[in-house]
Copies of this chain bind each other. A is one copy, B any other.
Amino acid sequence: MQGQQQQQAYDRGITIFSPDGRLYQVEYAREAVKRGTASIGIRTEGGVVLAVDKRIPSPLLEDSSVEKIHKADDHVGIASAGHVADARQLIDFARRQAQVNQLRYGEPIGVETLTKEVTDHIQQYTQVGGARPFGVALIVGGIENGEPRLFETDPSGTPYEWKALAVGAERGDLQTFLEDNYDEAADLDGGIALALDALASVNEGSLLPEEVGLATVDAETESFEQFDDDQIEEYLVENELLDEGDDEDESEDDE
């Protein structure tokens, strides 16, 4: 109780530190990320895999409209976890940066450069008053000079580079799963299999195609590809992860 009062004295503005040097509003924004369903990124030798868990609250909702994976540029995809509308702002920002880079320098933006432009933008919202931090974490994956790269942006505006990571709900269990099962030598299909395995591990072992989002950026073609429900179903069957329960009548959606 005393501790709560103590905390409440410092957590209502982004422009103040607490006595122990913490930024509570940024920490609360991290809680907003945890409220979102999980997103996973995996780097393989053959490219980058992005996979997301989607909750479909009603069978009448188009599952394709629960957007958690976005194409930022031909060679870069972004998965998000947390506040959906905030994610859209950051993805629009990333797309504009990619376009500006192409226009200015005549070449695709580097994945690391793009990530850091996004994190610098996020940091501003943690230091200057008049707005709240972004309640979202992004996984930015793409190909740079032929090499797959995989980054995370967190609500403080810090960039991290990963071999494989999870953000959002159940991050702890998912990250442990990835650490236990990550194989540096895997190809893109191996990465997809690991991603779906991981998602299934926190969904009672099986998945519905319409409740999964999946995309890759291939190191060869350097191009972003998002899979539809049929393709996802194939991968699920292949990996023996398909949930064969009801609700399947929604699976022919496309966009």
Which residues of A come within 8 Å of B, CB atoms? Answer: 4, 6-25, 28-35, 58-62, 64-67, 83-86, 88-89, 92, 116, 119-120, 122-123, 125-135, 151, 156-165, 175, 178-179, 182
State the copy count for this chain: 7
Main SS of chain A's interface residues?
mixed
**Chain B, residue nearest A62 (CB):** B161
CB neighbours of A65 from chain B (8 A)? 151, 159-162
Asked if A160 and B85 sit within 8 Å, CB to CB, the answer is no
Asked if A161 and B22 sit within 8 Å, CB to CB, the answer is no
Minimum CB–CB distance from A26 to chain B (whole Å) comes to: 9
Asked if B130 and A128 sit within 8 Å, CB to CB, the answer is yes
Minimum CB–CB distance from A88 to chain B (whole Å) comes to: 6
Q: 4 other contacts beyond A7-B19, A15-B132, with CB at 8 A cut-off?
A: A12-B13, A14-B16, A21-B34, A58-B175
Q: How far is the CA of A214 from the CA of B134 in the complex (A)?
A: 33
Q: How far is the CA of A123 from the CA of B85 in the complex (A)?
A: 6
Known A60-B182, A62-B161, A128-B131; contact A88-B156, beta-carbon cutoff 8 A: no
Asked if A29 and B21 sit within 8 Å, CB to CB, the answer is yes
